[in-house]
Amino acid sequence: MSIPEGVDRDSMMTQAQNIWTMLDEMSERDPQAYKKFIDKHMKEGKEYMKPPEPHMCVMSMTTSTKGRYFINFCSWNKVPEPKTPEDAIPVIGTPVLQDKDENGDFSYSGVAFSPKILEEFGIECKNSLDRNTLINLAIDYILHQNKTALSRSFSVLPSTTLSKGNLQVLMRAFQGKNKNADDEFDEHLSEMEKTFGLQGLGAKDSLLNKLANLSTEESVQDKNAPNIQLPGLGKEQTNKQNLIQEMNSSNSEQVCETKEPDYKMEEKFNGEDLEKLLLTIKLPGVNKVSECELDISEDDIDLTVEDRYHLNLSFPYLINDTKASAKFNKNNSSLIITLPVQT
């Protein structure tokens, strides 16, 4: 059995053996409690092994070919939640797949998050800015994972269309991410069942979730992937309704020191060739450009107005950052940034 990097094999095996021993003792001491335990964990194990479930679908386009691209957001129990608000959000993605419909050919892929992430920031999120943040982060992930640049102009398909593309192919692509690890893990559990003589038919399956969790959180997040985070994740809340009200209220600046400003990114062409991007950022209350801290690289921009605004945005194309320019319009408190595209 392969052990993910960072997980001590001996420690993992010791924990597994302790679980088997505990169950043997429980089966002799209290058969009824043993049966309840097994039934409970068999149910949990089956939930853990369920395939991803389509949650929402977003339509964008590839920046290179202008072809349609659908991002299938899926909820998957195998993807853990971030341990703290500062941690990157674990995500599993598929390769780029191809299909066609009545409008012609299109590309698609899947990104799977924990159910809790999609519950808070998915299709039913009341704050569209938070949902858009999740979508933009998925676009970042696709660029990193598949080297496919997507337009930041996108649309969320109606809830009647939760996925686009061949769903069976998409599910196989997800399962292929973990198939070898799952098969090895299942085989190893069978060997342990024989070795330790655990009683009860199906007891091996009942512990699949418990033992798998020893390695899942270490292996699911690509260490080289973008540091995907979302605002407000993990903060203690007394109830869901209050959280939604705070995010939508006019006094939301009291909840956090900075917020993401409204912005618009436009593509400017010279004939058929893309010449530059024009980024307009609205900064109500800002009176002069000296209040803005601006950092532009060839692939992203970071803007900070102390205690008021913060924007970090990845570009859909590589930018010639040495020729980028910015001007501040005092009349409408807007920062207009011209970003020449690399040729």
pLDDT tens across 280-312, in order? Answer: 999 999 988 788 888 898 888 988 888 889 888
Structural domain spans, the chain: 1-256, 263-340
CA distance 40 to 22: 16
* Mean pLDDT across the chain: 75
The pLDDT assigned to 11 comes to 63
The pLDDT assigned to 67 comes to 93
265 forms beta bridges with: 279
pLDDT tens across 113-159, in order? Answer: 999 999 999 999 888 888 988 999 899 999 988 899 999 889 999 98
Taking only Cα atoms into account, the Rg of the chain, rounded to an integer number of angstroms, comes to 24
Q: What is the pTM of this model?
A: 0.49
| Range among 53-67, 172-186, 206-220, 233-247 rated most confident | 53-67
Q: Is 189 helix (H, G, I), strand (E, B) or coil?
A: helix
Q: Is 286 helix (H, G, I), strand (E, B) or coil?
A: coil
Any long-range contacts for 174-180 (C-beta under 8 Å, 24+ apart)? 174/51, 174/52, 174/74, 174/76, 174/92, 174/94, 174/110, 174/112, 175/51, 177/92, 177/94, 178/78, 178/92, 180/2
| Residue range 19-38: mean pLDDT, rounded | 73
How many CA atoms lie less than 13 Å away from 175 in the CB half-sphere? 12
Q: Where does the pLDDT of residue 88 fall: very low under 50, low under 70, confident under 90, or very high at 90 and above? A: confident
The pLDDT assigned to 230 comes to 57
Report the topology of domain 263-340.
Immunoglobulin-like (2.60.40)
Q: Where does the pLDDT of residue 26 fall: very low under 50, low under 70, confident under 90, or very high at 90 and above? A: confident
259 forms beta bridges with: 309
pLDDT tens across 151-205, in order? Answer: 988 999 998 999 999 999 999 888 775 555 455 545 555 554 454 444 444 444 4
Contacts of 80 (CB under 8 A, 6+ apart): 90, 114, 213, 216, 217, 220
CA distance 341 to 343: 6
6, pLDDT greater than 70: no
